[in-house]
Structure 1
Amino acid sequence: MFATLSLVPAAQAAEDPGKALVDKHCQRCHDNSIFTRSDSIIHAYSELQARVEFCDNAAQAHMSEAQIRQVIEYLNDTYYKFPKP
């Protein structure tokens, strides 16, 4: 039981890889308020996916497909809450 309990703080301390990518790449151009604004142009999961891909290209972040998926999942889980396809 002690071994299991000792892993909990490490697991809690580990940052979501999607959040780390948002902090590194997305916040170069804007802060998190863009994800909660009332006039959002993102209204569906597919639009979120397209926007993250657009921003990756525009910012020349060169994220891998796996990293793009992590960003999409983080943004959706944290801000948008769209049903996943």
Structure 2
Amino acid sequence: MNDIPGGININPAVNKQAEKMSAEQSGIFERAFADTVGIECFPLLYVGNQLVAGQLHIFIATKRLVYPGAQTTLTKVVIYQNLENEISVHSISDI
């Protein structure tokens, strides 16, 4: 792992049912969305991370708003993990 401040580490991994996404990576995603209401997100690919004042974790995921007839879309999800290991969703953008 390359821990250069501001550097982005590209380290693709697939969804949590496959062997390559670690329990830590899927756990970060699950913690970020644990209290979220009105949206369902499922991680498909762990893209990598960026070391800042903490870490940014980048995922490709599916997103579906929770209402009748909602469509599932492909999104890029960036999750921020601060130095105290607290997790929050930094951004969600449709691809």
Q: What's the TM-score, normalizing by structure 1?
A: 0.25
Normalized per residue, which structure has more strand? 2
Structure index of larger Rg: 1
Q: Which has the higher contact order (CA 8 A, sep 6+)?
A: 1
Q: Which has the higher helix share?
A: 1
Tell me the TM-score normalised to structure 2 length.
0.24
